[in-house]
Amino acid sequence: MDPIIRIAGLTKIYDSGHQALKPVDLEIGRGEIFALLGPNGAGKTTLISIICGIVRPTSGSVIVDGHDIISSYRESRRAIGLVPQELTTDQFETVWDTVSFSRGLFGKARNPAHIERTLKQLSLWDKRDTKIKELSGGMKRRVMIAKALSHEPRILFLDEPTAGVDVELRRSMWDMVRELREQGVTIILTTHYIEEAEEMADRVGVISRGDLILVEEKSALMAKLGKRELALTLAEPLAAIPPELADWQLELKGEGNQLVYTFDANAERTGIASLIRRLTDLGIGFKDLATRESSLEDIFVNLVHQGRAA
C-alpha cells in the first residue's frame, strides 16, 4: 500500500478529562475509500478533526501526503477537503460565490473551469446564482461538498455524509464518491450505517469508545457482520420450541408469539426455505415474517467481546 495518511500512536484527552481516542495506528492508502464505522460518541469526528488540524492531539503523529499536521499544517491542510456534519456556510451568499470563496481560502488561484466542473458534477450548476438559504437540505449538503472540493484536494473527508438524507440523495452521493475516487481522490467517510460501509468502502475501520478495534478489507468484514435475523410472528403462540426444529437453533420470544432465527446472510444456504417447509409440515402457521440486519450495537458487543477473549 502507498499510504497517503499515516497515523501513529494518536490519542486525544479533552480538557474535561474524557479520553476520546486510545492510541490509534492507521494508514490510509492513496486512492482508497475508507469507512470509519462506529456508534455515537465513538470518536470518529475527533479522529477526523485531528487529521484536519481542527483539534489538537494529546500525543502521537499524523502525516498527510508527506506533511506533518502540526509542523507543516498549511501543506497538510491544503491536501484535504472536509465536509463537516453540520452546514457551515453563509446563507445569504450564492452557490457560486461561496464555493469560489472557499478556494481562495486555500490560497489557490482562481479557476472558474474547476468550479464549473464541480458544480455540474454535483448537479448544482442550475443553482449557481441561487442564495444558499433558498436551497433544499439535500442541495445545501451538496454545496458543502462542492466547497470541500473547491481547492482540488487529494483527500476528501465526509463526516456522516448521508445522515438524515433520503434514499435517492444517498444513492447519488454514493455515485459521486465513486466518481471522485476514479479521479484519484482518496475518500474517508464516517458512518453509523453498515449498509453504507458495505456499498462504498474498500476497507472499513470499526471504532468503539475511542478504540479502533479492527481494520479490515470490506469483504472480510462483511463476512463477519453478515448475520441477519428472521422473525416469524406465529398464528398461535407456542409453549416451547418443538424438538423437530432443533436444527435451526431458534429463539422463542414475545410470550411464545415470535420465533427468531439468526442466519448467515452470506452463506450459500441460509436454511430459511427448509425452516419454512418444516414449520408447514408441523402445522405451525405464521402471520408475518420479517428479516433485519444484526444491529451495529450487537456487532460491537460481539467484536469487543471477541477482542477481550483473544
Give me the residues that bind ligand ATP (CB under 6 A), please. Answer: 14, 16, 18, 20, 38, 40-46
Shortest CB 24 distance to ligand ATP, Å: 12
Shortest CB 141 distance to ligand ATP, Å: 16
Cβ proximity to ligand ATP: between 41 and 164 the closer is: 41
- What 8-state DSSP symbol labels residue 284? -
Cβ proximity to ligand ATP: between 42 and 180 the closer is: 42
User: In the structure grid, which three cell numbers stand for residue 47, read together?
Assistant: 479522529
Q: How far apart are CA 260 and CA 229, in angstroms?
A: 7
- Strand-pairing partners, residue 156, are 81, 187
Cβ proximity to ligand ATP: between 103 and 141 the closer is: 141
The DSSP line for 11-45 is: EEE-TTS-EEEEEEEEEEETT-EEEEE--TTSSHH
Q: How many helices (H) and strands (E) does the chain have?
A: 10, 14
Shortest CB 192 distance to ligand ATP, Å: 6
E-strand spans in the chain? 3-13, 19-29, 33-37, 59-64, 67-68, 80-83, 155-159, 186-191, 203-208, 211-217, 227-234, 251-253, 258-264, 286-293
Shortest CB 188 distance to ligand ATP, Å: 13
Cβ proximity to ligand ATP: between 56 and 253 the closer is: 56
Shortest CB 35 distance to ligand ATP, Å: 13
Q: How far apart are CA 142 and CA 253, in angstroms?
A: 44
Shortest CB 227 distance to ligand ATP, Å: 23
Cβ proximity to ligand ATP: between 118 and 190 the closer is: 190
Cβ proximity to ligand ATP: between 2 and 297 the closer is: 297
Task: Compute how many other C-beta atoms are within 10 angstroms of the C-beta atom of residue 116.
Answer: 14
Nearest alpha-carbon partner for 196 in 275, 296, 277: 296
Cβ proximity to ligand ATP: between 41 and 112 the closer is: 41
Shortest CB 49 distance to ligand ATP, Å: 7
- Strand-pairing partners, residue 174, are none
